[in-house]
Amino acid sequence: MSENLMEKIVSLCKRRGFVFPGSEIYGGLANTWDYAPLGAQLKKNIQDAWWKFFVTDRMDMVGLDAAILMNPKVWQASGHVDCFNDALVDCKECKARLRADHLIEEALDDVKVEGLELTDLDKLITNNKIKCPKCGATDFTKARVFNLLFQTHIGPVAEDSEPVFLRGELAQSMFVNFRQIQETSRKKLPFGIAQVGKCFRNEITPGNFIFRTIEFDLMEFEYFIKPEEWKERFDYWLDEMHKWLDVVGIDPKKTRVREHDEKELSHYSDRTVDIEFETPFGWKELYGLAYRTDFDLKNHIEKSGKDLAYFDPETNTKLVPHVLEPTFGLTRSVLMVLLSAYHEEEVENGKGEKETRVVMKFNKNIAPFKVAVLPLVNKLNDKAKEVWEQLSPHFVTDFDTSGTIGKRYRRQDEIGTPYCVTVDFDTLEDESVTIRDRDTMKQERVKIEGLTEYLENTLK
């Protein structure tokens, strides 16, 4: 994958209105990003497709939309206050603050750092004379532990109030609500609770555009099972996660599954695999699947003193369910969908010359606009508006009047619109329009009367 593909994606996102740097007119705020009109629609389409695929199309799944702020005791019980940490070093020369594991991995091939003790990290850095990527010095402070939970305060006077945490993952609200959700929805094991929403982490090394940010969106579910079933259901959910890649349009040839070894496992997990994606900056985690055992429910039962056990009507006994957790970064999905969709093709420009067309080959269900209505000249705007009014209740439809028709086709290619509908002078005579297909660039004449049905069939 070409090194500058990321630059091309970042530039396209800014130029066409997918993603802008956050608060840019004030000089920005590092690693914050605003989803502009097309990015907001793309993100929403991914979220909606996920909710449909994993929640509403299934009988064994229910949804939740919980508060971002939770009682701090939740994060103590979950282990995040003690264990949700990264190791940091500071360059003594230029004062750059760096993640010890990233520093080592970037300098030394084939060294696995996950799970190493702080002293081991220090030894690797000193013995290998690893250089600071910012200034080249080799003198670092000792590695220190840094908690990733994002603290804030409730109330107007920070000093007088207890700190609370912005949630670092969605999972905990699914655990603390488990019993009430099970009782009110009357679900029997196995079943899942799904949620989509913002999470916050005080990441030490955010970056690579929207890949790793301090504030991001997650889509995840906790699937509650009987303990003896976990292996078979783990395989099942890994398969479903692969099916999802197809639904959302993430290139499966650029993904692989990586098993966490024992040292790398999170404090709550007995088995975790990552689905990784080959980005222009290396193989990176896209999604995760973890077997969280009964770790979370047991801790919440113990720390809250509340009975969160499940009554099994088949055996007339109580049990604490075990949990499988498929987790999907939503904003990270946006990036991988953009990387998968980006294509450059050599085409003829109509004057017999070759030119490069950039086309975002989004899956049709994910594309921000499904169709664009283009009047050939401004005189045809009224007729074209009639066509837009017919289509817009059925599909998110763009209306584009500026520039030559060729330029408008190129713009729609770049924003990934599957179909362009052109209204020309013949339309006034024959009540027909030209439909152009984004991928094949083939054009077809279709009656306005049958246009909605035609698009409904092709966009399926």
CA 211/CA 334 separation, integer angstroms: 9
- Please give the Cα distance from 90 to 88 (Å, whole number): 7
How far, in Å, are 81, 138, 289 from residue 411 at the CA level?
Answer: 48, 49, 38
Residue from the set 332, 408, 411, 438 that interacts with ligand GAP by CB under 6 A: 332
Which of 43, 187, 201, 322 touches ligand GAP by CB under 6 A? 201
- Contact with ligand GAP (CB under 6 A) among 86, 122, 203, 276: 203
270 sits near ligand GAP (criterion: CB under 6 A): no
Residue choice 90, 120, 229, 285 for contact with ligand GAP (CB under 6 A): 285
Q: What's the one-letter identity of residue 123? A: K
Report the interhelical angle of 330-341 vs 37-51 (nearest 10°).
110
Quick note: the x/- pattern for ligand GAP over 214-243, rule CB under 6 A, is --x-x-x-----------------------
Question: Closer CB to ligand GAP, residue 29 or residue 94?
Answer: 29
Mapping DSSP to helix (H, G, I), strand (E, B) and coil, where does residue 153 land?
A: strand
CA distance 35 to 342: 18
Question: Footprint of ligand GAP on residues 158-197 (CB under 6 A)?
Answer: 169, 171
Which residue, 71 or 202, has its beta carbon nearer to ligand GAP? Answer: 202
Which of 442, 416, 424 lies closest to 381, judged by CA? 424
Q: Pick the closer one to ligand GAP by CB: 287 or 419.
A: 287
Minimum CB distance to ligand GAP, residue 202 (Å)? 10
CA dist 264 and 404 (Å) reads 55
Give the nearest distance from C-beta 26 to ligand GAP in angstroms.
23
User: At 223, phi and psi to the nearest 5?
Assistant: -110, 115
Based on CB atoms, which residue is closest to ligand GAP, 189 or 199? Answer: 199
Query: Exposed/middle/buried for 298, CB within 10 Å: 0-12, 13-18, 19+?
Result: middle
When binding is defined by CB under 6 A, the residue of 47, 195, 213, 427 that contacts ligand GAP is 213
User: Whole-number minimum distance, CB 140 to ligand GAP, in Å?
Assistant: 24
Residues near ligand GAP (CB under 6 A) are: 169, 171, 201, 203, 212-213, 216, 218, 220, 285-288, 325, 327, 329, 331-332
